[in-house]
Chains A and B, each alone.
Chain A
Amino acid sequence: MRRPEFLELFARHRCGAPTVLGPGLAGRELLTLEGDDPTVLYNMDMPYATPLCLGLALSTALPRVVALEGDGSLLAGVPGLGTVGRYRPRNLVIIVLDNEAYGSFGHGEMASATSAGVDLERLGRACGIDRTATVRTLDEAERALARAMAEPGPWLVVAKLEAHGDTDPRFARVPPDVADGGLKFYRALRALTGRDT
């Protein structure tokens, strides 16, 4: 399963749920799929997508908040999984794009710890997150995303992906700058939570 294929599936299941991405090429791919949607915040610094979404999930009644992490980002923020497992917000979904590499440069030559057997799903379960899945095919991903976006969480979905570089010309566009994107995201959240009425 390649990352753009998985992200296309995710975009179909997202249904406008506020989403925060960690750094990396996945942002370019989702931007191409979603366009300039202000409910997506790109390039959150590693490893803060999950804790930002935890704060957002705990502080709102939004039906779903999604942290879209790379395996490198999640490995950098493992203590945060314990906090998610402690407070267990039902509206939080963490999705990990696990290509077993620091893959946004060098065509995936730099392997991450998941390539050596670190199991992110088991890590999440050990931290108290009991709604989890590891998916390796688009069919598995379809089923897991449908549940994660509808059933009470918190959810941790680990998508095992092929490592590939930045050679796909469809995804050349760079996400908006972080200040501009942050402001648009904030305004979108105000509207979604009824604070602009």
Chain B
Amino acid sequence: MTVSQQVPRPLVGYREDAARLLYASLKNNGVNFAVFLPDTVLHVVDKLLLADPDIQTVVCSREDEGAAIAMGAYWGGKTPVLLMEGSGYGLAGLILARGVVQRSPLLIISSHNSVLGERFNYHAATRLVAQPILDALRIPYHVLRDVDEIPTVVREVLLTISGQRLPAAILVPRHILIEG
């Protein structure tokens, strides 16, 4: 059997119920434009968004580019979300700063965080970059702890984004969307 003939074996087990809850919370609160750079933790959420004909999706090449695309979509009248690995903050500092200065509402959902569930050393830089960048730009964020809080957090963060006209982020640790 060649490599290409092998049946794909998932490297991780996903909590499909949690992914569906996050996706539904976005949709129920008016998100209708999703930009993402695929990553492991958010993979199932990305797939659900791609499959929804009511939500316009764009797969970007870099996270900073994705933030800019999402901001453009907001200017065009959409309610956008940017989904990415936390490492993307390392690239996106400048455009997020521009978003703050220009008061551009943008919901960011990113995987990884500084302290919860970071078992792999190859995420050492990823783990370090997100929260310091958000803190430096004074972009508010919430680190999810339980699946049950997803609907409330998404709804309330979107209210803040809209009311204050600023970017804000929800950080998704591994245990929210991945089993074991």
The answer to whether A77 and B58 touch across the interface, beta carbons within 8 angstroms, is no
Cα(A179)–Cα(B71), bound, Å: 14
Interface size on A, residues (CB 8 A): 31
The answer to whether A59 and B56 touch across the interface, beta carbons within 8 angstroms, is yes
Q: Which of A26-59 contact B (CB under 8 A)?
A: 44-45, 48, 51-59
Q: Is A102's beta carbon under 8 Å from chain B?
A: no
The interface residues of chain A, by DSSP majority, are classed as helix
The answer to whether B103 and A52 touch across the interface, beta carbons within 8 angstroms, is no
- When distances are taken between beta carbons in the complex, the residues of chain B under 8 Å from A189 are 75-77
Interface locus among B12-20, B94-102, B111-119, B148-156: B94-102
- When distances are taken between beta carbons in the complex, the residues of chain A under 8 Å from B61 are 79-80, 82-83
Cα(A70)–Cα(B70), bound, Å: 22
Cα(A58)–Cα(B58), bound, Å: 9
The answer to whether A44 and B70 touch across the interface, beta carbons within 8 angstroms, is no
The answer to whether A53 and B103 touch across the interface, beta carbons within 8 angstroms, is no
Binary B-proximity of A162-189 (CB < 8 A = 1, otherwise 0): 0000000000000000110011011001
- When distances are taken between beta carbons in the complex, the residues of chain B under 8 Å from A51 are 60, 65-66, 68-69, 72
Q: Is A115's beta carbon under 8 Å from chain B?
A: no
The answer to whether B98 and A45 touch across the interface, beta carbons within 8 angstroms, is yes
The answer to whether B101 and A182 touch across the interface, beta carbons within 8 angstroms, is yes
Q: Is B73's beta carbon under 8 Å from chain A?
A: yes
Instruction: Choose among B69, B75, B76 the residue that contacts A83 (Cβ–Cβ < 8 A).
Output: B69
The answer to whether A52 and B77 touch across the interface, beta carbons within 8 angstroms, is no
Cα(A185)–Cα(B76), bound, Å: 11
Instruction: Choose among B64, B68, B102 the residue that contacts A55 (Cβ–Cβ < 8 A).
Output: B68
Cα(A72)–Cα(B66), bound, Å: 20
User: What are 23 sample pairs from A and B whose C-beta atoms fall under 8 A apart?
Assistant: A45-B98, A48-B94, A48-B95, A51-B65, A51-B69, A54-B72, A55-B58, A55-B73, A56-B76, A57-B76, A58-B56, A58-B73, A59-B56, A59-B77, A79-B62, A83-B59, A83-B60, A179-B103, A182-B101, A182-B104, A185-B75, A186-B102, A193-B76
- When distances are taken between beta carbons in the complex, the residues of chain A under 8 Å from B33 are 55, 59
Binary B-proximity of A119-149 (CB < 8 A = 1, otherwise 0): 0000000000000000000000000000000
Q: Is B175's beta carbon under 8 Å from chain A?
A: no
Instruction: Choose among A44, A59, A182 the residue that contacts B73 (Cβ–Cβ < 8 A).
Output: A59
The answer to whether B101 and A55 touch across the interface, beta carbons within 8 angstroms, is no
- Give the interface centre of B65, B101, B103 by most chain A CB atoms within 10 Å: B65
Cα(A56)–Cα(B60), bound, Å: 14
Q: Is B43's beta carbon under 8 Å from chain A?
A: no
Do A83 and B71 contact each other (CB < 8 Å), given the known contacts A48-B64, A48-B98, A179-B102?
Answer: no
Cα(A57)–Cα(B76), bound, Å: 8
Cα(A77)–Cα(B60), bound, Å: 12
The answer to whether A178 and B72 touch across the interface, beta carbons within 8 angstroms, is no
The answer to whether A55 and B103 touch across the interface, beta carbons within 8 angstroms, is no
Cα(A179)–Cα(B102), bound, Å: 5
**Closest beta carbon of chain B to A76's beta carbon, Å:** 10
CB nearest to A81 among chain B residues: B61
- When distances are taken between beta carbons in the complex, the residues of chain A under 8 Å from B73 are 55-56, 58-59
CB nearest to B70 among chain A residues: A55
